[in-house]
């Protein structure tokens, strides 16, 4: 089966840097993705890592270590609008089954 | 504009009734998904479909049914067998077989049992 674990909540202040971790277990691995969801809204895609290392997209970066079954999302220069839930996701096995983590609620304070 | 549309946005159901949630996409995606989200919780997979006329159970399929008669449409029926159906339901689609797991989501249907 597949499972992903994330911290339930993280709090940071505007302008700071925050890291949201994700550990996963899956029978097959086709990369780790990250999604953002504002309260009551639809999740939106942020980033994807298929290979080990760091991928940077503006203020957001995502890291993957396949040997450790671990990844993280790094948010820099935090803004109030970054307050949201963040989910990691994997597509496992030989199918298109797409599984999401438990989600991390990020609260950005002034 | 291409996208994925869920309807209705809000739905109220009496206990013992079946209700069907609509999900339509014009992105030409083969794979479609239904997730359930409870307050403060993650997304749990109900059903997914990789191709027309085929679908697989996710982690919480009991009390739900789906069909995939057309590529564009993947309706979800919440049956009376689902004991706690009040939740936020999200439909998603993505390109079949792509390495990138980017999925596109609808705006969700909030179902309440009254």
Per-residue pLDDT tens over the stretch A10-20: 999 999 999 99
Say how far apart CA B101 and CA A97 lie, in whole Å. 10
- Residue A8 scores a pLDDT above 80: yes
- Residue B91 scores a pLDDT above 70: yes
Optimal mutation site among A45, A98, A105, A106, interface B, most CBs of chain B within 10 A: A98
Which chain A residue lies closest to B106 (C-alpha atoms)?
A42
Say how far apart CA A19 and CA A62 lie, in whole Å. 9
Average pLDDT over residues B97-112: 86
Tell me if A33 sits within 8 A of A42, measured CB to CB. Answer: no
Q: Greatest CA separation found in chain B?
A: 42
Among B32, B102, B19, CA closest to B65? B19
For position B100, what pLDDT does the model report? Answer: 66
Angstroms from B42 CA to nearest CA on chain A: 4
Q: Which chain B residues touch A102 with a CB distance below 8 Å?
A: 41-42
- Report in angstroms the alpha-carbon separations of A79 from A22, A48, B22, B99: 22, 22, 35, 31
Which chain B residue lies closest to A97 (C-alpha atoms)?
B48
pLDDT tens, residue by residue, A37-73: 999 899 999 999 989 999 998 999 999 999 999 999 9
Strands B43-51 and B31-37, by their bridges, are antiparallel
Tell me if A89 sits within 8 A of A99, measured CB to CB. Answer: yes
Among A7, A106, A101, A110, CA closest to A60? A106
Residue with the bigger pLDDT between B112 and B1: it is B112
For position B69, what pLDDT does the model report? Answer: 97
DSSP code, position B107: -
Among B23, B9, B14, CA closest to B109? B9
Tell me if B10 sits within 8 A of B74, measured CB to CB. Answer: no
pLDDT tens, residue by residue, B11-48: 999 988 999 999 999 999 999 999 999 988 899 999 99
Average pLDDT over residues A70-91: 96
- Residue A3 scores a pLDDT above 70: yes
For position B9, what pLDDT does the model report? Answer: 95
* A91 reaches B (C-beta below 8 A): yes
Of A25-29, A68-72, B86-90, minimum mean pLDDT range: A25-29
For position A35, what pLDDT does the model report? Answer: 97
Shortest CB distance from A96 goes to which of B48, B90, B102?
Answer: B48
pLDDT cut 70: percent of chain B above it: 95
- Residue B99 scores a pLDDT above 70: no
Do the chains contact at A97 and B45, CB–CB below 8 Å? yes
Do the chains contact at A33 and B102, CB–CB below 8 Å? yes
């Amino acid at each position: 089966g597949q499972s992903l674990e994330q911290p339930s909540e993280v709090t940071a202040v505007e302008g700071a840097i925050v890291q949201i971790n994700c550990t996963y277990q899956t029978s097959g691995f086709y990369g780790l993705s990250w999604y953002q969801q504002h309260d009551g809204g639809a999740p939106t895609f942020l980033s994807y890592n298929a290979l080990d290392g760091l991928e940077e997209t503006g203020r957001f970066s995502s890291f993957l270590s396949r040997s450790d079954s671990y990844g993280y999302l790094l948010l820099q220069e935090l803004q109030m609008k970054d307050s949201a839930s963040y989910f990691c996701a994997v597509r496992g096995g030989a199918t298109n089954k797409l599984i999401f983590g438990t989600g991390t609620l990020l609260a950005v304070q002034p | 504009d291409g996208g994925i549309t869920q309807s209705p946005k809000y739905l109220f159901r009496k206990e013992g009734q079946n209700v069907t949630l609509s999900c339509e996409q014009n992105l030409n995606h083969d794979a479609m998904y239904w997730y359930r989200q409870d307050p403060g919780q993650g997304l749990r997979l109900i059903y997914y479909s990789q191709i027309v006329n085929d679908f697989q159970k996710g982690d919480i399929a009991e009390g739900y049914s789906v069909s995939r008669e057309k590529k564009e449409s993947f309706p979800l029926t919440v049956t009376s067998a689902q004991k706690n159906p009040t939740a936020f339901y999200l439909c998603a689609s993505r390109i079949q077989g792509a390495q990138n797991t980017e999925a596109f989501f609808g705006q969700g249907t909030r179902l309440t049992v009254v």
